[in-house]
Amino acid sequence: GDVELGEYARNSGDLGLDSFFKKVQELDKQYAKLDKLLKKLQDAHEESKAVTKAPSMKAIKQRMEKDVDEVKKTAHYLKTKIEELDKENLANGCGKGSGADRSRTATTISLKKKLKDTEFQILREAIHQEYREVVERRVFTACLLDN
Amino acid sequence: MSMSDSDSSSSYGAEYKSLKQVSRERLLHEMLRSAKTGDSKSTWKVLIMDKLTVKIMSHSCKMADITDEGVSLVEDIFKRRQPLPTMDAIYFIQPTRENIIMFLSDMSGRKPLYRKAFVFFSSPIARELVMEIKKDAQVLPRIGALREMNLEYFTIDSQGFITNNERALVELFGDEENNRKAVACLNVMATRIATVFASLREFPFVRFRAAKSLDATTMTTFHDLIPTKLAAGVWDCLMKYKKTVPNFPQTESCELLIIDRTIDQIAPVIHEWTYDAMCRDLLNMEGNKYVHEVPSKTGGPPERKEVLLEDHDPIWLELRHAHIADASERLHEKMTNFISKNKAAQIQHGSRGSGEMSTRDLQKMVQALPQYSEQIDKLSLHVEIAGKINRIIRESGLRELGKLEQDLVFGDAGMKDVIKFLTTYEDTSRENKLRLLMILASIYPEKFEGEKGLNLMKVAKLTDEDTIAINNLRMLGGEPDTKKTSTSSFALKFDMHKKKRAARKDRSGEEETWQLSRFYPIIEELIEKVSKNELSKLDYPCLNDPSPTFHGTPYAGPVTQNPPAHSMRSRRTPTWARPRGSDDGYSSDSVLKHASSDFKKMGQRIFIFIVGGATRSELRICHKLTGKLKREVILGSSSIDDPAQYITKLKMLTAQELSLDDLQI
């Protein structure tokens, strides 16, 4: 019955794989969070194109700065955790080529690929942010000259 | 009682999808995504397949796609497998007794290998095997699904499939007296063809080439009856699907024409001058894989890099059916356009001199970077491939050979021209000489009888083994016209002395833009006749013909006036040059969706199945006619053969004879 199955699971060394997938599940949640933040930034970016009043622009800018920081933090966390998984995969007791080993490898590669795609979006948002700061400084200079 | 309960339907009201798309979605969504227990959302699974189903899967999906659906491990059902009792397993297997024995031994006993098993059979399962499964009281509670997937074909193209009967030509047309292998081959083929219609939810009119020697004086051979028997087998399967597959149409919704390799023995060996065919003919490709050397970035020796020439490559998708000269020209234009338009390329190529890069330039470059990296790699690859092909064409004198081949086919050249060519271009490769003679033998089979044939082989300096290939063409039957001509009166014979025989007629209205592009395979005419409902009922009967008393317009879809042929010189805007939205991530799905958008407002599908192998030129024709007829034309076959593969199989038709000769010696 269930008791036997549970005991069998513990004896098989499958415990390591089970905890591996729990970690992967946690990382999937972080990815979902990251996707949500990037979408929010994208929306704010579109919103800023239509804004002309300084106070509104300022508010959007503050929100975006906060979100960009959050994005960077989450991405860094993901990167660190994936590197940990890589080391753990190398150290795990499963024989090379075994089912558990191939399972770990395939899943980790999948996570890395996802991060690589996301990293580029993050870079793009950072460039946008920097560009806006440059524009602001130029506007300020122009105002001084007018006076 | 069938276990089939596939519940998705590709209704006509919904988006029109190509065969490849439907297959892909059925495998990824209907099978992998649906296999889950209710308690957890993101449980990882094991996928277990056999030798055939792993190929079915890999022809439609990438490993990344499979991983995205929650599969972390792929296993071979016959290999020893590590127990993973906390994970669910998906079995995608053929319904064979061996597979079922393996499955039952996995999941029975006190310690099953997996927690729960979701079983999908690639084709209909026999009733007694279902009973075997149901008898096992231990396994039953551990089964999460037991279904017939009805998907047992390889998609080789958005509009092509094969049944993977690689030995069909030998088993069906060989000289073996025993028909047991042939019958088994036909049954497998019929089952697999039917799964295509189950997947697409299409119910075809089943037409087939009739046996040609249906008169009292001649005995009908098994070879003549192959399309007839296959049509009957497919029909039996379709009748079962009509009752068992949900949403399977009850009335006819498309056309199926079953023919075999005997209808056209020139297409398999004549040089086809499209980019796709040239790649396979001249480069040593393995399937869709091309291996080339890339200069190492670290300054070491060149690295070998493998690339796949497939639908996910937009340049390949656009150029593969173009004439090689056209493809070369367009690649050059693409590279020129690319450099002038792409921001990253502009900056990298120093269009702004040595000034410091501003933030704005950096912004534009970063935005364009994914396109740049992606496209420059692909463009460079194709420029290299096209250059290599053109070099081989030059070095091997392929242009002269190609011209002679096409002249032979259209009756502008004859025996004397071939002999002249063989003596003039003595250094032509053996393979090319053999292919030339095979074309000649298809058109003038009597020239290869007895002493004349032997002399011709000597002039060409070909081996006895090569002679076998030419002699075995006879087993695929001569042209019906040839027989009539050979029985003609003396006057006609005298006339024949001057007039050369043509295997094809020049097609009026077709614009011949590039040299060596006159040739077309026979199926082009057949498909057009199917579309116009003009196929002869005597030569191509239908198992489920509409009633003779039927009045009004033909059921086979609207016969619209054919639009004028699209000039190959007028080019559409290159797809890669279109600006993409900044949030448009690249994925193979988006390419497929882009491809399928052209299918809106299409008429009914036309399926052509060729027993004994199909050619790249025939696949090209299906794409061409899809655009021309506004109906999706899908090519199916037992296999897709390059000329070398076809010749090898042809030699094997009398393999027994060879071994007998060896014994005598």
pLDDT, one tens digit per residue, over B97-140 is 999 999 999 999 899 999 999 999 999 999 999 999 999 999 99
CB contact under 8 A, B75 and A99: yes
CB contact under 8 A, A9 and B85: yes
At B529, the pLDDT band (50, 70, 90 cuts) reads very high
Q: Round to whole Å and give the CA distance between A70 and A76.
A: 10
The pLDDT value recorded for residue B343 is 62
- Which one of B416-420, B514-518, B659-663 scores highest in mean pLDDT? B416-420
A134 CB neighbours in chain B (<8 A) are: 359
At B661, the pLDDT band (50, 70, 90 cuts) reads very low
Domain boundary among B150, B170, B189: B150
Q: Which residues, other chains included, contact B594 with Cβ-Cβ below 8 Å and sequence gap of 6+?
A: B575
Q: Round to whole Å and give the CA distance between B213 and B222.
A: 11
Rounded to an integer, the average pLDDT of B153-170 is: 94
CA angle B445–B448–B452, rounded 5-degree value: 140
Question: Coil, strand or helix: which one is B86?
Answer: coil
In a domain, B109, yes or no: yes
Is B359's Cβ below 8 Å from some Cβ in A? yes
Q: Which positions of chain A have pLDDT values less than 50?
A: 1-13, 147
Q: Which CATH number fits the domain that encloses residue B292? A: 3.90.830.10
Mean pLDDT (chain B, rounded): 81
Instruction: Give the number of domains in chain A.
Output: 1
Q: Whole-angstrom distance between the N-terminal and C-terminal Cα of chain A?
A: 85
At B540, the pLDDT band (50, 70, 90 cuts) reads very high
Q: How many residues appear in chain A? A: 147
In a domain, B447, yes or no: yes
> What residues make up the domain containing A65?
3-146
The pLDDT value recorded for residue B558 is 40
Report B:305-334 residues touching A (Cβ under 8 A): none
CB contact under 8 A, A127 and B72: no
Q: Which CATH number fits the domain that encloses residue A49? A: 1.20.58.70
Same domain, yes or no, for B21 and B144? Answer: yes
Lookup: tokens for B312? 């996910």
Q: Round to whole Å and give the CA distance between A105 and A109.
A: 6
The letter for the amino acid at B254 is C
Q: Round to whole Å and give the CA distance between A23 and A91.
A: 16
- Which one of A78-82, B63-67, B130-134, B301-305 scores highest in mean pLDDT? B130-134
A27 CB neighbours in chain B (<8 A) are: none
Q: How many residues appear in chain B? A: 665
Question: Residues B552-607: pLDDT tens digits?
Answer: 434 444 434 333 333 333 333 333 333 333 333 333 334 444 444 455 678 899 99
Report B:590-649 residues touching A (Cβ under 8 A): none
Query: How many CB pairs below 8 A link A and B?
Result: 72
Lookup: tokens for B314? 């937009």
In a domain, B258, yes or no: yes
Question: Residues B416-446: pLDDT tens digits?
Answer: 999 999 999 988 999 999 999 999 999 998 8
CB contact under 8 A, B86 and A9: yes
The pLDDT value recorded for residue A134 is 62
Lookup: tokens for B429? 């490769």
Q: Which CATH number fits the domain that encloses residue B35? A: 3.40.50.2060
In a domain, B438, yes or no: yes
Q: Round to whole Å and give the CA distance between B655 and B658.
A: 5
Out of B42, B73, B85, whose CB is closest to A14?
B85
Same domain, yes or no, for B304 and B319? Answer: yes
Q: Which CATH number fits the domain that encloses residue B197? A: 3.40.50.1910
Rounded to an integer, the average pLDDT of B212-234 is: 80
- Please give the full DSSP string across B21-66, using - where no structure is assigned: HHHHHIIIIIIIIT---TT-SS--EEEEE-HHHHHHHHHH--HHHH
Cβ pair B594, B311 in contact under 8 A: no
The pLDDT value recorded for residue A107 is 87
Same domain, yes or no, for B173 and B231? Answer: yes
Q: Which residues, other chains included, contact B656 with Cβ-Cβ below 8 Å and sequence gap of 6+?
A: B174, B175, B176
Rounded to an integer, the average pLDDT of B625-640 is: 95
CA dist B618 → B201, B526, B559, B609, B622 (Å): 25, 11, 22, 11, 7
Q: Biggest alpha carbon distance in chain A?
A: 85
Same domain, yes or no, for B211 and B323? Answer: no
B160: nearest Cα among B645, B644, B597, B632: B632
Q: Round to whole Å and give the CA distance between A97 and B74.
A: 12
3-state secondary structure A16-60: HHHHHHHHHHHHHHHHHHHHHHHHHHHHHHHHHHHCCCHHHHHHH
Same domain, yes or no, for B363 and B277? Answer: yes
Contacts 24+ apart (CB under 8 A), B248-252: B248/B198, B248/B201, B248/B203, B249/B201, B249/B202, B249/B203, B250/B203, B251/B203, B252/B203, B252/B204, B252/B205, B252/B544, B252/B555
A5 CB neighbours in chain B (<8 A) are: 85, 111
**Helix and strand element counts for chain B (H, E):** 25, 13
Q: Round to whole Å and give the CA distance between B165 and B611.
A: 9
Same domain, yes or no, for B390 and B400? Answer: no
Report A:54-93 residues touching B (Cβ under 8 A): none
Same domain, yes or no, for B36 and B74? Answer: yes
Q: Which residues, other chains included, contact B459 with Cβ-Cβ below 8 Å and sequence gap of 6+?
A: B419, B422, B423
Cβ pair B269, B646 in contact under 8 A: yes
The pLDDT value recorded for residue B577 is 33
Same domain, yes or no, for B146 and B157? Answer: no
B258's enclosing H/E stretch is strand B254-260
At B254, the pLDDT band (50, 70, 90 cuts) reads very high
Beta strand B303-308 pairing with B289-294: antiparallel
At B516, the pLDDT band (50, 70, 90 cuts) reads confident
Question: Residues B376-409: pLDDT tens digits?
Answer: 788 889 999 999 999 999 999 999 999 999 999 9
Sheet with B71-76, side-by-side order of all strands: B71-76, B45-49, B88-93, B117-121, B143-148
In a domain, B626, yes or no: yes
Q: What percent of chain B has pLDDT over 70?
A: 75
In a domain, B481, yes or no: no
Instruction: Give the number of domains in chain B.
Output: 4
Same domain, yes or no, for B535 and B611? Answer: yes
Domain boundary among B93, B126, B150: B150
> What residues make up the domain containing B429?
396-474
